[in-house]
Structure 1
Amino acid sequence: MNNYKLKIAFITGISGQDGAYLSRLLLKKGYKVIGITRNNHSENMQKLKSLCIDEFIIMEECDLLDISSVIALINKYKPDEIYNLAAQSSVGLSFKQPIGTISFNIVSVLNLLEAIRLIKPDIRFYQASSSEMFGKVTNLPVSIDTPMHPLSPYAISKASAHWTVVNYRESYGIYACNGVLFNHESFLRSTGFFVKKVIYETVRNKNNPYWNLKVGNIDIKRDFGYSPYYVEAMWLMLQSQNPDDFIICSGKSITLRSIIEHVFKKLDVPMNKLIIDYELLRPTDIDDIYGDNRPAKTKLGWEYNLSFYEVLDSLIQEEIEFLDKK
């Protein structure tokens, strides 16, 4: 007799790039995937459609700020795993909307964890933390034990959510993990993010004499990686015997300027098309940050060895092919 039970996973924030790639990964592994969104607008399905998996996802509307709604959904599906990717995730927007950012990014996590504690304590929970939490670091690379000095409302909210997860793990014995993902990109990234903006605009305007690429501070350095590989680490974290927190990153940082230079060179665009727009500068910014991915590789068996310039070449090619199809 076959007693195999189909695993059920919730993915909040399923409409983002990570939600789409994680959905694809879990479907390949035989999961039943429930996508949690604030509303079922068709735009929330676009990234899933681009991966041809939208028909295999069950979508549910849920206000994560309403714990009764969260409890009702958990009671309905009794999931084995919850991947919480939902957040107001723009650092720049968080300066304009600090109350909304901090409120949603903390209370939503608290409601999910409290619902797990009350309804089904054996659910395994993944929280999408962020490298922005560390902010002003004095020693690199960043490890999971690096002191946090957040420099934006977004970073403050993510740090608070991070420690809420730790508290529920230590206080209630819930299997809850934080994945501290450094910047990670893909073709499905929204155009409001730096790398996608650079590639998207440059591919479409490389022959436009009136176009210029407007950017803010591009002499800062960041640790960039590739989203489809990073979601594998999320899944691996919930398969371990014991819950823990991990840094997921490439282990190297590069300047934003070097990314623009690489894209411009690849598409034969002169550097004089670049304009520094002081309206795009942030009140505070991190000069340089990169992480230590060795614990994720040794303890989880996660594999990642891509150069970000390889990733950029792939993303440029995908953008060109997409444009050619239109």
Structure 2
Amino acid sequence: MSNTALITGVTGQDGSYLAEYLLSKGYDVYGLERWKSTQGHRRIDHITDLELVQGDLADQSSLDRVVRETRPDEVYNLAALSFVPESFNQPVHTGNITGLGATRVLEAVRKHQPDAKFYQASTSELFGNSSEETQSIDTPFQPRSPYGTSKLYAYWSTVNYREAHDMFTVNGVLFNHESPRRGKNFVTRKITRGAAAISLGLQDKLELGNLDAKRDWGHAEDYVKAMHLMLQQDTPKDLVIGTGEHHSVRDCARIAFNEVGLDWEDYVEINEKFFRPAEVDVLKADISNAKSELDWEPQKTFEDLIVEMVETDLAELQSDNSQAAQPNE
């Protein structure tokens, strides 16, 4: 008998990769979508065996119904308002969906499927401007955005349900992870798409914010495998997932423009509107526990990741440009 998984945020980057991975493992997979999803299905249109169910992290009754009807063995709560800069503009809404939303999913699982294993998508933004060179699960949290504080609430809710209700609940504190499916408003995708567009003559310049910000960037396809492994353990344990390396926004721009044969310094301009009100300067994961507990480590390098994103953006833009040039019949 196959396992059943429920994924919230299935239309996002991580949700789409996780759905593919679980289906390849023989799971029956349900994906939660809002009735009027703002993201659409472009990331999951090709996944034919995925069954979509309607629900909303702001609506407890809909989550109760979904868990009651799907009866999942594993629940992956990946849904959130995840664009950090926008969380400063919508702090209350971010808290309601990203923080309280996780608690609503936990409560639905507690009431209707208490033996299910629950994964909460946590984030390196919990650490803020940490004074430690690398961040582990024992590093003090000091989030510096409404997104980070909302994720902190979700983190401790997950711990609380584990301790108070004896549930199998874990936090995967994932550092930045990207892919060709990354939203175009995120800095890595903004850079790779900008480099591709400039090389094709579709754009003149690329405006960025803090080029010195450093992040531990990995590939989302690697990280969803770690999510799954965390729910295969005998004992629930929160873990940090990353690469153990960090790179600057400047490094990302250099690699992306090199891939299209251009010098990034000729095209990148600094615009202060892209600076965060409270910046997080440097983050780098300590993944020693993930290696020892899960026997997991990332397979794709940072350069591999950026090159793959550039190549995908080039192909998409060339296709879009070709279609736009076709005469109307």
TM-score interval w.r.t. the shorter chain?
A: over 0.9
- Structure 1 residue 28 and structure 2 residue 24: aligned? yes
In the aligned structure 2, how far is the partner of 1:227 from the partner of 1:212? 28
Letter in structure 1 aligned against 2:17: Y
Letter in structure 1 aligned against 2:244: G
How far 1:211 moved relative to its partner?
1.1
1:312 alignment partner in structure 2: 306
Moved more, 264-273 or 227-236: 264-273
Give every structure 1 segment of 4 or more consecutive aligned residues whose post-TM-superposition deviation is greater than 3 Å: 40-43, 321-326
1:294 alignment partner in structure 2: 288
How far 1:124 moved relative to its partner?
0.5
TM (norm. structure 2) is 0.93
- Structure 1 residue 174 and structure 2 residue 173: aligned? no
1:73 alignment partner, one of 53, 61, 66:
66
Moved more, 150-159 or 109-118: 109-118
- Structure 1 residue 272 and structure 2 residue 266: aligned? yes
- Structure 1 residue 259 and structure 2 residue 252: aligned? yes
How far 1:315 moved relative to its partner?
2.0
Q: How does 1:1-326 map to 2 (within 5 A)?
A: 5-39=1-35, 44-49=40-45, 52-53=46-47, 55-208=48-201, 211-270=204-263, 271-326=265-320
> CA 1:295–1:211 in 2, change beyond 3 Å: closer, same or farther?
same
Task: Provide, for residues 23-66 of structure 1, a one-character-per-residue CA deviation record: whole Å limited to 9, x for no partner.
Answer: 000000011111101126595221012xx21x211111102222
In the aligned structure 2, how far is the partner of 1:256 from the partner of 1:140? 18
* 3-state SS in 2 of match to 1:23: helix
* 3-state SS in 1 of match to 2:52: strand
In the aligned structure 2, how far is the partner of 1:72 from the partner of 1:207? 49
Q: Structure 2: where are the runs of 5+ without partners? A: 321-329
How far 1:90 moved relative to its partner?
0.8
Letter in structure 1 aligned against 2:13: Q
In the aligned structure 2, how far is the partner of 1:324 from the partner of 1:107? 42
In the aligned structure 2, how far is the partner of 1:113 from the partner of 1:209? 46
Task: Provide, for residues 247-298 of structure 1, a one-character-per-residue CA deviation record: whole Å limited to 9, x for no partner.
Answer: 1101011111111011112212231211001111111111111011111111
How far 1:114 moved relative to its partner?
1.2
Letter in structure 1 aligned against 2:73: D
Letter in structure 2 aligned against 1:198: I
> CA 1:121–1:66 in 2, change beyond 3 Å: closer, same or farther?
same
Letter in structure 2 aligned against 1:66: D
How far 1:209 moved relative to its partner?
8.4
The answer on whether the counterparts of 1:80 and 1:124 sit within 8 Å (CA) in structure 2 is yes
In the aligned structure 1, how far is the partner of 2:39 from the partner of 2:156? 32
Q: Percent of aligned positions with the same letter in both sequences?
A: 37
The answer on whether the counterparts of 1:183 and 1:225 sit within 8 Å (CA) in structure 2 is yes
TM (norm. structure 1) is 0.94
Moved more, 37-46 or 290-299: 37-46
Letter in structure 2 aligned against 1:77: T
Letter in structure 2 aligned against 1:163: W
In the aligned structure 1, how far is the partner of 2:203 from the partner of 2:108? 54
Letter in structure 2 aligned against 1:63: D
The answer on whether the counterparts of 2:71 and 2:113 sit within 8 Å (CA) in structure 1 is yes
The answer on whether the counterparts of 1:250 and 1:306 sit within 8 Å (CA) in structure 2 is no
Task: Provide, for residues 190-240 of structure 1, a one-character-per-residue CA deviation record: whole Å limited to 9, x for no partner.
Answer: 101111111112112224386110001111111000000100000000010
Moved more, 66-75 or 33-42: 33-42
Query: What is the aligned residue count?
Result: 319
